[in-house]
Amino acid sequence: MTGLAADVADGVLRGAETLGGVVSSPFAEPTLRLGVTGLARAGKTVFITSLVANLMNRGRMAQLSAERDGRIEAAYLQPQPDDTVPRFDFENHLGALTGPEPHWPDSTRAVSELRLSLRLRPSGLFGGLTGPKVLHLDIIDYPGEWLLDLSLLDKDYAGWSADVLRRIATRDEAKAFRAAVRAADPDAAHDEPLAQGLASAFADYLQAARAGGYYDCTPGRFLLPGDLAGSPVLTFAPLPEGTAPRGSLAREMARRFEAYKAQVVRPFFRDHFARIDRQVVLVDALGALHSGPPAMEDLRRAMTDILGSFRPGSNGFLSQILRGKRVEKILFAATKADHLHHQQHPQLTAIIEALTQDARDRAQFAGAETAALSLAALRATTEELRTHEGAELPCVRGLLADTGKPAALYPGRLPEDPRQLLTPARQGAECWLDGSYASMRFAPQPLVLKPGDGPPHIRLDRAAEFLFGDRL
Ligand SMILES: Nc1nc2c(ncn2[C@@H]2O[C@H](COP(=O)(O)OP(=O)(O)O)[C@@H](O)[C@H]2O)c(=O)[nH]1
Ligand SMILES: [Mg+2]
């Protein structure tokens, strides 16, 4: 959009956006904001990179109906609309995945954005009369951990502290932090080094808890501080309730807790979350399966909490900023499905459906269309049937990420009924009844791509069809 058009359209656009309606400014081209989220390591970066690469070279996108019908003329990257959000580093990530020595991209730790524009051949009766139209797909990558912070908005410092201290009372990961809390007097005069010591002990606990498989690790920005590292909004920690006199440690901590809510949590929901039209939630269910029942139960809880954000009625602040606008479609996708032979993909999909069932019921209730599937954004394996003790085992084969050596993986037999996993997990089982589920970390395979083909994937085209196929 030219500067003039942008100026003229700005007011119109804003008005239209806050009303949540379709932007109808004559200057505006249609835009769809696609949110991509998931907990750390769920596969967001790889998903976006491969999705964009496969939309630019669509040889492997047969399940995208607009592609099948020849309606997509071109897809190209353009400058994104939000000037203060870091750009998703597509070129570097793609280079890592498809270069001469393929490797997984570095993990990213904050929100980023990329605009892919699709030039479409008009369809329908009068299609031939109008020229091609353009749809801008703005893809927003943000950590699922940040959604967990929504629950903080309903709490004050004392209530939040009591919650956290109760939850961590028996966790090994919190030993050092609990000792630091015992040594501190919340009602004593505020002392910055002491506050910093407590905050860093608390942040260390959160990191350890996250590594130990806990997902209830809020405030989310303590794990992914980005450019807020060391600032007062991240220099607080939960303390037992005292009288919190003026000038006390507890009083200052409470003030910072409120600042975190007002200056970190609310802006994220207002500036990013509230503007999302379609959402994909990526879930590493196979990772949790491999880690065991406690990780699976934790994942289920985290999903329920994360998906609470998509039920605006549950939070006054959110209802207020959304003003009736809602995410229209939510896709729940189990990632890294290339660790499983396709024979077992239905079982993986059933797990993801069961994991998100509560939340899906509620989202449906709120009017969003939801679906679940298993995918691999970047397929790093090939399938293989191997005979083992007279039985045929459906395996996958790939190159190990650590050594580069070829290896075959049979993760184990996933049950037809996901409740066989989720029920014991919910009841506190420590390990799976039938032994464990194996895992391997494969490197991306060296690729020789035919012209017009994107990187190999599993069901990325189906994901795209569900998420935005209706707008192409
Ligand atoms: N085999 C396989 N591994 C994947 C795939 N997607 C992600 N991974 C693995 O998961 C890790 C984390 O992925 P990433 O996209 O960085 O996760 P993010 O933290 O959610 O952005 C990668 O380094 C890979 O090891 C996939 O499609 N197939
Ligand atoms: Mg990432």
pLDDT at position 229: 86
- Strand pairing report for 391-400 and 381-388: antiparallel
| Residue 177: closest CA among 260, 246, 266, 237 | 237
Q: What are phi and psi of 36, to 5 degrees?
A: -120, 115
Alpha carbon 31 to chain centroid, angstroms:
21
Q: What are phi and psi of 48, to 5 degrees?
A: -65, -45
Ligand 1 midpoint to CA 42 (Å): 6
Give the tens place of pLDDT for each residue, 161-183: 999 999 999 999 999 999 999 99
Q: Is the CB of 119 under 6 A from ligand 1?
A: no
Q: Please list, in sequence order, all residues whose beta carbon lies within 8 angstroms of the beta carbon of residue 71, skipping any fewer than 6 positions away.
A: 120, 121, 123, 472
Angstrom distance (rounded) from CA 81 to CA 83: 6
- Strand pairing report for 381-388 and 278-283: unpaired
Token digits of residue 92 = 């570097």
Angstrom distance (rounded) from CA 266 to CA 285: 29
Residue keyed to tokens 């996901």: 418
Q: Is the CB of 457 under 6 A from ligand 1?
A: no
Write 4-12 long-range contacts (CB < 8 A, 24+): none
Q: Is the CB of 93 under 6 A from ligand 1?
A: no
In order, the DSSP letters of 214-258 are -----SHHHHS-GGGTTSGGG-----------TTBHHHHHHHHHH
Q: Which atom of ligand 1 is the closest one to the Cα of 39?
A: 20
Return the amino acid letter for 125: L
Token digits of residue 329 = 């479609």
Q: Which atom of ligand 1 is the closest one to the Cα of 375?
A: 27
Token digits of residue 196 = 């910093």
Ligand 2 midpoint to CA 107 (Å): 5
Angstrom distance (rounded) from CA 327 to CA 277: 5
Q: What string of pLDDT tens digits covers the 472 residues of the chain?
A: 333 343 333 434 443 444 444 444 456 789 999 999 998 899 999 999 999 999 999 999 999 999 999 999 999 999 999 998 999 999 999 999 999 999 999 877 789 999 999 999 887 665 566 677 899 999 999 999 899 898 899 899 999 999 999 999 999 999 999 999 999 999 999 999 999 999 999 999 999 998 887 878 889 999 888 788 889 999 999 999 988 899 999 999 999 999 999 999 999 999 999 999 999 999 999 999 998 998 899 899 888 888 888 876 777 888 888 887 888 999 999 999 999 999 999 999 999 999 988 777 766 656 788 899 999 999 999 999 998 888 889 999 999 999 999 999 999 999 999 999 999 999 999 999 888 899 999 999 999 889 999 999 999 999 999 999 999 9
Q: What are phi and psi of 261, to 5 degrees?
A: -60, -45
In order, the DSSP letters of 346-377 are HHHHHHHHHHTHHHHHHHHHTT-EEEEEE-BS
Ligand 1 midpoint to CA 106 (Å): 10
**Which ligand is nearest to the Cα of residue 48, counting in written order?**
1
Pick from 41, 97, 396, 441 the residue to mutate for probing ligand 1's pocket: most ligand atoms within 8 Å of its CB: 41
CB 269, CB 321: distance < 8 Å: yes
Ligand 1 midpoint to CA 41 (Å): 6
Domain boundaries, the chain: 29-142+276-472, 150-269
Q: Is the CB of 378 under 6 A from ligand 1?
A: yes
Token digits of residue 134 = 């353009």
Angstrom distance (rounded) from CA 10 to CA 287: 45
Cis geometry, peptide bond prior to residue 245 (ω within 30 degrees of 0):
no
Q: Is the CB of 97 under 6 A from ligand 1?
A: no
Give the tens place of pLDDT for each residue, 5-17: 433 334 344 434 4
Helix crossing, 345-355 with 357-365: angle to 10°?
60
Q: Which atom of ligand 1 is the closest one to the Cα of 50?
A: 27
Helix (H, G, I), strand (E, B) or coil at 78: strand
Give, using CA atoms, the residue closest to atom 2 of ligand 1: 336
Pick from 146, 336, 339 the residue to mutate for probing ligand 1's pocket: most ligand atoms within 8 Å of its CB: 336
Ligand 1 midpoint to CA 436 (Å): 22
| Residue 235: closest CA among 262, 208, 195 | 195
Q: Is the CB of 382 under 6 A from ligand 1?
A: no
Q: Which atom of ligand 1 is the closest one to the Cα of 47?
A: 15
Q: Is the CB of 41 under 6 A from ligand 1?
A: yes
Q: Is the CB of 380 under 6 A from ligand 1?
A: yes
Residue-level length of the chain: 472
Q: Is the CB of 88 under 6 A from ligand 1?
A: no
pLDDT at position 10: 40
Angstrom distance (rounded) from CA 354 to CA 105: 30
**Which ligand is nearest to the Cα of residue 338, counting in written order?**
1
Helix, strand and coil percent figures for the chain, each rounded to 5: 45, 15, 40
Q: Which atom of ligand 1 is the closest one to the Cα of 107?
A: 16
Angstrom distance (rounded) from CA 329 to CA 338: 25
Return the amino acid letter for 116: L
Q: Is the CB of 376 under 6 A from ligand 1?
A: yes
Q: Which atom of ligand 1 is the closest one to the Cα of 46?
A: 15
Element (DSSP H or E) covering residue 198: helix 192-211
Q: Is the CB of 260 under 6 A from ligand 1?
A: no
Q: What is the DSSP letter of 80?
A: -
pLDDT at position 27: 60
Give, using CA atoms, the residue closest to atom 14 of ligand 1: 43
Q: Please list, in sequence order, all residues whose beta carbon lies within 8 angstroms of the beta carbon of residue 276, skipping any fewer than 6 positions away.
A: 33, 34, 35, 140, 327
**Which ligand is nearest to the Cα of residue 458, counting in written order?**
1
Angstrom distance (rounded) from CA 376 to CA 441: 14
Ligand 2 midpoint to CA 108 (Å): 4
